[in-house]
Structures are given as structure tokens and as C-alpha cells.
Amino acid sequence: MQKISLSTRQREVLVDITSSVQEALRQTGISSGICVLYCPHTTAAITINEGADPSVAHDMVMGLRRLIPGNWDFTHMEGNSDAHIKASLIGPSVTVIIDVGRPVVGTWQMIFFCEFDGPRKREFFVRVQPGEKTG
């Protein structure tokens, strides 16, 4: 398992982690299998979405804020229940298929660390599971 650190610079922001994941995969030397990405934080998450146009990430952050505003009648005293809900809606883990030594993502897909209660120092975990030998 590999741990990758990052720093987020706003309260809510999507950070492109695609190249970190590719590098972690490369270090394992595994060319076929699956790759589990895991977020150990309760106000952050991991997703995959369009990375070509940065306005998509912007609209996701804005849309999620509009969906779950911070001013609902929450009881958690830290005042970040909106971030906890967003974290579970997006989800703590994503699994990507590995083939020919690369994550098999779509043309427009990038992997994003979703910060919902930053800025903070964060980390995520990468675990590559080798698949059946086919050679």
C-alpha cells in the first residue's frame, strides 16, 4: 500500500491526482489487475470526472454546495456536517481497472481528490491488486 500526501488550498476544491496515481502504479510493476484508491478522511472523498475543462470541477463544487448548504439545522458542533454528507455521497473509495500497465480510464476522465472542508493537509492510499496471469 502506498500513501500519497497533498495539501488543499480552499474549503471546497477538486484536486487532480491522476499523475500521482499513475506513478504509484508504475512503482508496483503490476501491469494487470485493479487499483483501489482510498480516502481516510471524513470530510473528503475521491471521484473520477472530466478533467479537460476545469469548469466541470468548478461546477461540481458549486453544485454540491448548492445541494447541501452549510446552514441547515445540523447538530454536529464542528459546523462541517455539509462536508461529511458530501464525503459519503461521493464516497471514500474508487476502484480502477489496470490493463497493460495503466489505469483504464476514459478519454476525458481524471481522478480527483475532493476536498470539502479545507484547506488542510490530506493523504490518500493506493493499493494495487494483481490480476490473474494470462501469459
Give the interface with a second copy as residue ranges (CB under 8 A). Answer: 1, 30, 33-34, 36, 38-42, 47-50, 53, 55-56, 58-60, 62-64, 66-68, 72-78, 81-82, 84-85, 87-97, 99, 104-109, 125, 127, 129-132
User: Is the N-terminal amide bond of 119 cis, ω within 30° of 0?
Assistant: yes
CB of 5 or CB of 75, closer to a second copy: 75
CB of 23 to a second copy, least distance (A): 18
CB of 15 or CB of 90, closer to a second copy: 90
CB of 70 to a second copy, least distance (A): 11
35 close to 23: Cβ distance less than 8 angstroms: no
CB of 110 to a second copy, least distance (A): 9
CB of 37 to a second copy, least distance (A): 9
Strand order in 33-38's β-sheet? 2-7, 121-130, 33-38, 93-99, 102-103
8 close to 115: Cβ distance less than 8 angstroms: yes
